[in-house]
Structure 1
Amino acid sequence: MEQYSYEPLDLGRPAIRLLCLHRGGNESEITCNLFQAELHQRHDTVSYEALSYTWGSADLTESIVIDCFFMNVTLNLYGILQQLRYQDEDRILWIDAVCIDQENKKERGHQVEQMSEIYKEAHRVVFWLGPGTFETDVLMESLQLLQSEIEKHNYRSWLPEDDDWKKLYNGVVYESF
C-alpha cells in the first residue's frame, strides 16, 4: 500500500479538510477518508467535531488507512482514533495532524490562520486528556451528576459566590459516594 498524498487546498478560500472516521470495532484497522469543505457556508456546512489533544512523540507511529493509502500518525493519535470511533456509524472530525498537510508550509500557515474559525464552527470540540483512570472516571461521573442536578434548579440567576453552588455540589458528591 502506498503512502497517502494530499490533494492541494484552494488557499484563496476558507478551505479545510475533514476526516471521515469509518465505523469499526476496536480490533479492526482504522480506515478513513479525507474530503474538502469550506468554512462560513451556513447553508451547506458539514457538521464536524474538532479534536484538541497532545500529539505525543513523533518517533512512535502507527498506520491508518485514508482513501486506500496508508498514513503514519503518532501512537497517541492512533489510540485516540480507536477510542473515538463509533461501532455503528462514521464520525466527521477535524484533526490538525491529519487534515493539514504538515509538509506544506504555505498550507500549514493558511490553516493556522483559520484555526479559531475551525474550532468556532465545529459542532463540538473534543478534548482528549489521555486514557481514563479510576480517578478521572469518578470525576467525570461526578460532573455528569452535578450537571443533571443543576438543571433541576434556577441556577442562571445564581452568582458564582452563592452558597447554593456549594450545597448542590456537596449534595451530589456525598450522595454519590
Structure 2
Amino acid sequence: SYRYQKLDDPERQMRVVKVHSFKGYPIRCSMKAMTRKKAKNDGYRALSYHWGAPNPKSTIRIDGREFLVQKNLHEFLEHASRMKAKGTKGWTTGIFWIDAVCIDQENNEEIAVQLKHIRSMYRHAGETIIWLGPGDSGTADAMKYIKK
C-alpha cells in the first residue's frame, strides 16, 4: 500500500497528485511534494467534493502502490483520467490538490499544519472543481440552465 513521504517543511510545502490518462483499472496517479509557491506557479486545480460514506472503498494506484479512496472520489478520478486521455481542453495536465489524497490522513501533526493553509490552497489553485458526482440523464439540461 502507498506510504507518504514526510514533507520536509510542512509550513511551506504541499503535495499535488497527477492523474494519468485512463488505461483501465485501477486509476493511476503519481504524487509529489513542492512548495506552495511552486505549486501556484506551476498551476494545479483544487477539488471540492463530498467525502461520502467511509465504505465501500475503491483502489487506485499512486506511484505504483495501492491507495484506497471513497466511491465519490474514485468517480472523479476516473472522470479526470478519461478526460485527460481524450485530450479534453483544461484536463491535460491532470494536476490536482485533493485533501483526502494530498494530506496524510493518518498523521495528525501534518493534518493540523496543512489545515492552517487550506484556504490558501483553494485560493491559489488555478481553479476549484466542485464535484457533485458523475451526473445522470438530467445533467446536460441542468448545465444549460446554469449557463443562462
| TM bucket normalised to smaller | 0.7 to 0.9
Q: Match for 2:29: what amino acid?
A: C
Structure 1: runs of 5+ lacking an equivalent: 147-177
Q: Deviations over 1:82-133 (max 9, x none)?
A: 1122214440000000000000000001111100000000001000112213
Structure 2: runs of 5+ lacking an equivalent: none
- Is 1:125 aligned to 2:121, yes or no? no
- Is 1:64 aligned to 2:60, yes or no? yes
Q: Which residue of 2 aligns with 1:171?
A: none
More strand, by proportion: 2
Task: Give the direction of change, closer, same or farther, for the CA distance of 1:41–1:82 in structure 2 (3 Å limit).
Answer: closer
**Is the CA contact (8 Å cut-off) linking 1:19 and 1:94 kept in structure 2?**
yes
**Structure 2 counterpart of 1:50, from 46, 50, 65:** 46
**Is the CA contact (8 Å cut-off) linking 2:13 and 2:33 kept in structure 1?**
yes
Give the superposition deviation at 1:76.
Answer: 1.5
**Structure 1 counterpart of 2:74, from 70, 75, 78:** 78
Structure with the bigger RCO (C-alpha within 8 Å, sep 6+) is 2
* TM-score, normalised with respect to structure 2: 0.86
Aligned length: 141
**Is the CA contact (8 Å cut-off) linking 1:50 and 1:119 kept in structure 2?**
yes
Q: Match for 2:14: what amino acid?
A: I
Q: Which residue of 2 aligns with 1:36?
A: 33
**Is the CA contact (8 Å cut-off) linking 1:22 and 1:91 kept in structure 2?**
yes
**Is the CA contact (8 Å cut-off) linking 2:17 and 2:32 kept in structure 1?**
yes
- State the identity as a percent: 32
Give me the whole-angstrom Cα distance separating, in 1, the residues matched to 2:93 and 2:124. Answer: 20
* TM-score, normalised with respect to structure 1: 0.73
Give the superposed CA RMSD: 1.8
Task: Give the direction of change, closer, same or farther, for the CA distance of 1:133–1:12 in structure 2 (3 Å limit).
Answer: closer
4+ aligned runs moved over 6 Å, structure 1: none
